[in-house]
């Protein structure tokens, strides 16, 4: 006589593959961490440690405000004949040429009155690029020297080249005193600045690549009303 099993007996639930899922999550996090670290090293490799004069002249010069000595360095390039005109992009709406001239030598102050234009609309790097494109088109310029801090240069070139793919861009990276005086990895403030800038660069890279593929996640910032200024600074930070 064969044995009969009672199907009504409750069966133990099948074990969930928690260990497998945990391994997948840990592995994915490890890959993301390694990828981010490699990307950060590649980002750092783009940053110049010394200031190098442009190898050639250009039609115009643009300086993206937000860091020390950027404007004075751009004025030196203009005085040296590296460009016909200079655009200072990102000037605070309450500031005038006279406010900028106070921090410049007398010979550069004279150039301010004849050969410098102010952009008060840009509030970040993307709108810097949009306003610079408008300025170039109005003047028919085809080449541009870009002046900004060395840590900001990769993102600036990314945004400008996306906005103006037909314009020749010549970078002039401004190296701050802190960068010269101490290695970046010994300063917590500098490290935080670089990590923040790297995150912004990655976000801009993703947005630009998606836009090139026809996926525009956000309208161009220059087409939106600019927010009211909150601080009486010389320029907006990038």
Digit-by-digit pLDDT tens for the chain (238 residues) are 555 545 555 555 555 557 788 777 777 777 877 778 888 888 888 898 889 999 999 999 999 987 768 998 999 999 999 999 999 999 988 888 777 877 777 767 778 888 999 999 999 999 999 999 999 999 999 999 999 999 999 999 999 999 999 999 999 999 987 787 788 888 888 899 999 999 999 999 999 999 888 887 676 644 444 444 444 333 444 6
Give the model's pLDDT for residue 16. Answer: 54
Instruction: Report the 10 Å Cβ neighbour count for 42.
Output: 11
**Distance (Å, rounded) from C-alpha 60 to C-alpha 82?**
8
> Could you tell me how far CA 104 lies from the centroid of its own chain?
26
- All residues at 6 or more sequence positions from 106 whose CB lies less than 8 Å from its CB, including other chains: none
Give the model's pLDDT for residue 223. Answer: 40
Sign of CA dihedral 107, 108, 112, 117: positive
**Distance (Å, rounded) from C-alpha 80 to C-alpha 191?**
34
Give residue for tokens 């010389």.
234
Residue 145, SS3? strand
Residue 4 structure tokens: 């009969």
In angstroms, the Cα distances linking 208 to 28, 109, 203, 213 are 25, 37, 9, 9
Give the model's pLDDT for residue 222. Answer: 43
Query: What is the pTM for the complete model shown?
Result: 0.78
């Amino acid at each position: 006589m064969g044995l009969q099993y009672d199907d009504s007996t409750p069966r133990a639930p099948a074990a969930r593959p928690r260990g497998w899922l945990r391994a997948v999550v840990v592995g994915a996090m490890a890959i993301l961490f390694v990828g981010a670290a490699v990307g950060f090293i590649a980002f750092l490799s783009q940053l110049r440690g010394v200031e190098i004069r442009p190898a050639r002249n250009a039609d115009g010069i643009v300086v993206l405000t937000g860091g020390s000595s950027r404007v004075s360095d751009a004025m030196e390039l203009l005085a040296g004949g590296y460009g016909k005109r200079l655009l200072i992009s990102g000037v605070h709406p309450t500031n005038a040429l006279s406010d900028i001239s106070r921090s410049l030598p007398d010979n550069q102050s004279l150039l301010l009155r004849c050969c410098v234009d102010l952009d008060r609309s840009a509030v970040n790097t993307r709108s810097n690029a949009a306003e610079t494109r408008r300025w170039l088109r109005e003047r028919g310029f085809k080449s541009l020297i870009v002046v900004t801090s060395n840590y900001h240069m990769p993102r600036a070139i990314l945004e400008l080249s996306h906005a103006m793919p037909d314009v020749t861009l010549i970078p002039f990276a401004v190296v701050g005193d802190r960068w010269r005086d101490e290695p970046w990895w010994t300063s917590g403030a500098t490290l935080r600045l670089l990590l923040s800038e790297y995150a912004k660069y990655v976000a801009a890279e993703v947005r630009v690549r998606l836009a090139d593929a026809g996926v525009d996640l956000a309208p161009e910032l220059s087409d939106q009303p600019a927010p009211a200024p909150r601080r009486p600074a010389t320029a907006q930070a990038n």
